[in-house]
Amino acid sequence: MSATPIPPIAALPAVTPQSIVPTVLPVVQPPGSASFGQMLLNGLDKINDKINNADSAVRAFALDDSIPVHQVTFALDQAQSSMELALQVRARLLDGYQQLMNMQL
Amino acid sequence: MRATEISLTGLDVEWRRLEVIAENLANANTAAPVKGPVYQELHLISGPRNDFGAMLNRTDAGGKGLDIDTLSGVAVQGIVASSSPPRLVHEPGNPMANSQGFVAYPAIDHAGQMTKMIETSRIYEANIVAMSLAREMYTKALELGRPR
């Protein structure tokens, strides 16, 4: 009975690390007059959209519960988290403003 | 917030899967009409929302593997009926019985359906846990550098 020899273990191929970390963020260029205030307003519009989405999801669920509950809670959660982000932006903006106002000249 | 959106697709699919299992269990005792088809066990087929083969065979990255941006969750591909022969039960008194006195019931694997149901529920929960963790990370990131 002849046993087939076990082949030696081949060297592993070199693994190239996947580039997840150095993601180049796209430069956000708001159309038209790219003022900071306009950017804030655009962000507020998006939050308003999310709140409206959540509102219509709740409305639809109240009328007819054939849509899955998790879609309603997801829409609510999305609206809430973007609202929290907006509050953070506002808090930091105000903080920066106040630091400027309290500056000793 | 892509992680939560991926988890949301998982929730959608498992919700649908539970509907299919409920349909199977509800029809477990449905006798076939004498000259009609018997109910067949239904299976929900789900798969990656993006073409998985194309994701794997990405050539533009120089063989660096999958692109993280192609991840987009799961989707329902369809519902397929199995083709197992019906379970014939000898019930001569049943109005649905054929000339030999046999009634055709769907060949539904009851225990298998129950197992699948529990599995579905657990996967649903796992997707919820993944989603709340993503949410937690988002909230933590909002706290970064917050003025106290």
Compare CB distances from B15 to A68, A84, A91 and report the shortest one's residue.
Answer: A68
- Tell which residue, A79, A83, A61, A59, has the closest CA to residue A70: A61
- Tell which residue, B74, B76, B78, has the closest CA to residue B5: B74
Compare CB distances from B135 to A68, A71, A77 and report the shortest one's residue.
Answer: A77
> Residue A17 has what pLDDT?
55
CB within 8 Å: A85 and B142: yes
| B111/A22: higher pLDDT | B111
Neighboring chain A residues of B128 at a CB cutoff of 8 Å = 70
B68 contact A CB<8A: yes
What the block records as the tokens of A16 is 């190239």
Neighboring chain A residues of B19 at a CB cutoff of 8 Å = none
**Cβ atoms of residues B14 and B116 within 8 Å:** no
pLDDT band at B132 (very low <50, low <70, confident <90, very high): very high
> Residue A101 has what pLDDT?
94
B121 contact A CB<8A: no
Round to whole Å and give the CA distance between B21 and B42: 8
Is B68's pLDDT higher than 80?
no
Residue pointed to by tokens 């708001």 = A30
Round to whole Å and give the CA distance between A31 and A47: 19
> Residue A18 has what pLDDT?
54
A98 contact B CB<8A: no
Q: What is the ipTM of this complex?
A: 0.78
User: For B128, which residue in chain A has the nearest alpha carbon?
Assistant: A70
Q: Could you state, in order of their start, the residue ranges of all structural domains in chain A?
A: 36-101
A66 contact B CB<8A: no
Mean of the per-residue pLDDT values of chain A: 83
Note the pLDDT tens digit of each residue in B38-62.
Answer: 899 999 999 988 877 777 766 665 6
pTM for this entry: 0.76
SS3 content of chain B, % helix, strand, coil (to 5): 45, 15, 40
